[in-house]
Amino acid sequence: MADRAIEITGKSVDEAIADGLAQLGLTRDQVDIEILSRGSRGIFGLGSEPARVRITPHSAATTGAAARPATSPVTPPVTPPVTTPVKPPAATAPTAPQPAAPQPAAPAPRAPRLADMEEEEEEQATAKRTAAPAETGVEAISNAELERMASDMLSQMVRLMGFDAQVNATWHDADQPEGEPYLLLDIHGHDLSPLIGRRGETLASIQYLVRLMVNQRLKTWKNIVVDVDHYKERRVAQLTQLAHRMAEQVVQSGRAVSLEPMPPNERRIIHLALRDHAAVYTQSSGEGDRRKVHIVAKS
């Protein structure tokens, strides 16, 4: 077990702490944790910085002191008088300190995937709204003004990307009891599939940028959702149907079913669709792009 502090990096503070505890073979109550940097996601993986923490085992603060014996004057031995002077014993050479075992190199930080941006931004915004005091310089704005500003920003972005499209802005009630109303910006036009991308990754990136621009302008978080020709609405319906169809298969066969890997926002749809199901429950496993949902029969 390591006996000195180590510094660990990771995609998030929790990931860095987990990696550090695994390297030390210790638990949280056996160490002191200092957060050196919470990291930065950057944009599309560019300019991102990993989270960095310092983990110090509790024993490290006392081991050094315990290992060093207290110094005290040495009393020479009493010898009988002799005519020949006695040569004092040679001092024992101090033992050279052993070099500390090298710590394994921390894994290189992984750039955030585009599919993670929406979920990570939601988590950070929620934490900021609930834990942080109100920011100074927040610009007050009405819903109508927010609609115009966000629509203009998105329209200009889409035009610069080479698409001829229009943006329709509407307000919607929260889809969960603890949620907030949100502004939906739906892009309409012809041949807009490139704005959606594979499994909606391009669309998630566009939404991320629109939120970033609005939030930087207003100095406060606004719940804005970007869609293309009701793609998200159709995708929610498809995944909900898939979830219930697979749940019935699990009920009939008694065997768990694993769905294909999905981005975080789509896994969330599966979990929500089956969270109140009487006979099955859902759980996720895997890492990164390979993370998937399992539908399991209740015992």
- CB neighbours (10 Å) of residue 113? 16
Contacts of 111 by beta carbon, 8 Å cutoff, 6+ apart: 42, 45, 48
Euclidean distance between CA atoms 269 and 26, whole angstroms: 36
Strand partners, 54: 7, 34
Strand partners, 9: 52
Q: What domains, with CATH codes, occur in the chain? A: 6-63 (no CATH), 114-130+138-229 (3.30.300.20), 233-297 (3.30.1370.50)
Euclidean distance between CA atoms 217 and 5, whole angstroms: 41
> What is the residue-averaged pLDDT of the chain?
77
pLDDT of 116 higher than 60 = no
φ, ψ (nearest 5 deg) of residue 128: -70, -40
pLDDT for residue 19? 84
Tell me the CA distances in angstroms from 33 to 30, 52, 107, 291, one per residue in order.
10, 11, 19, 29
194-203 CB burial, b ≥16 within 10 A, e <16: ebbbebbebb
In which order are the strands placed within the sheet that holds 31-37?
Answer: 6-10, 51-57, 31-37
Token representation of residue 104 = 């394994």
pLDDT for residue 122? 52
φ, ψ (nearest 5 deg) of residue 292: -140, 165
Q: Tens digit of pLDDT for each residue in 120-140?
A: 455 555 444 444 444 455 667
Between vectors from CA 214 to CA 212 and to CA 215, what angle results, nearest 5°? 65
Euclidean distance between CA atoms 98 and 140, whole angstroms: 63
pLDDT for residue 117? 44
Tell me the CA distances in angstroms from 132 to 118, 201, 220, 256, one per residue in order.
20, 30, 11, 42
In which order are the strands placed within the sheet that holds 257-258?
Answer: 257-258, 292-297, 280-285
Q: Tens digit of pLDDT for each residue in 228-274?
A: 999 998 999 999 999 999 999 999 999 999 999 988 889 999 999 99
φ, ψ (nearest 5 deg) of residue 48: -75, 150
Q: Tens digit of pLDDT for each residue in 197-214?
A: 988 889 999 999 999 999
Percent of residues, the chain, with pLDDT higher than 70: 68
pTM, to two decimals: 0.52
Token representation of residue 120 = 């990570």
